[in-house]
């Protein structure tokens, strides 16, 4: 299955899902002063496929999502750059309690599905038990002024920036991560 069909499959699931009564997860304010120095985080940055199954504390999840692509300036710009400030990358967060989408402006997780979809977020066994699986989805309409090949390139690059922020945050906090 190629990436396009995986994303299309997710889109079908999201469009066909009935509304459910799960609550918005209000995230605590991110701690913008924590973590290790950048050079140490770069030294510690690595991929790992070994995860504990216990839930991440809410404050760690809050910091992770803010570091990934949260708002870090009064003008609404983000911790990760994007082509033409298009901010086309959305972060869907798969937890055992359901699927949520991160709203950086409100710093909340909005519920999408109440089902545990972690096993569908990758082809390796660890996706089923990792406490958090992040799904990066590009809204290519936000890059509408560019030709299709350029939109694909920019969205891939912008996803890489968000992903690298996740890697550096995880290194800083002693957490495992892998794309």
pLDDT digits (tens, 9 = 90+) for 133-148: 999 999 999 998 899 9
Q: What is the residue extent of each domain of the chain?
A: 3-173
Q: How many CB atoms lie within 10 A of CB 177?
A: 22
pLDDT < 50 positions in the chain:
1-17
Domain 3-173 has CATH 2.40.50.140: no
Output the pLDDT for position 20.
Answer: 53
CA 143/CA 147 separation, integer angstroms: 9
Burial of residue 166 (number of CB atoms within 10 Å: 0-12, 13-18, 19+): buried
What does DSSP say about strands 25-26 and 89-95: parallel, antiparallel, or unpaired? unpaired
| pTM of the full structure | 0.85
The residues near 55 (Cβ < 8 Å, ≥ 6 apart) are: 95, 96, 131
């Amino acid at each position: 299955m190629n990436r396009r069909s995986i994303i299309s499959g997710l889109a079908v699931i999201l469009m066909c899902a009935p509304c459910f009564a799960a609550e918005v997860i209000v995230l605590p304010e991110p701690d913008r002063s924590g973590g290790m120095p950048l050079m140490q985080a770069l030294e510690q940055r690595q991929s790992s496929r070994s995860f504990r199954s216990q839930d991440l504390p809410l404050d760690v999840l809050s910091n992770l999502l803010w570091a990934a692509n949260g708002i870090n300036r009064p003008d609404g710009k983000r911790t990760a750059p994007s082509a033409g400030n298009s901010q086309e990358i959305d972060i869907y967060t798969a937890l055992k309690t359901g699927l949520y989408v991160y709203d950086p402006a409100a710093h909340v997780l909005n519920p999408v599905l109440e089902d545990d979809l972690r096993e569908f977020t990758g082809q390796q066994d660890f996706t089923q038990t990792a406490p958090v699986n992040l799904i990066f989805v590009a809204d290519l309409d936000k890059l509408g002024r560019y030709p299709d090949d350029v939109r694909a390139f920019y969205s891939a690059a912008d996803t890489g920036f968000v992903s690298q922020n996740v890697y550096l945050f995880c290194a800083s906090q002693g957490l495992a991560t892998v794309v």
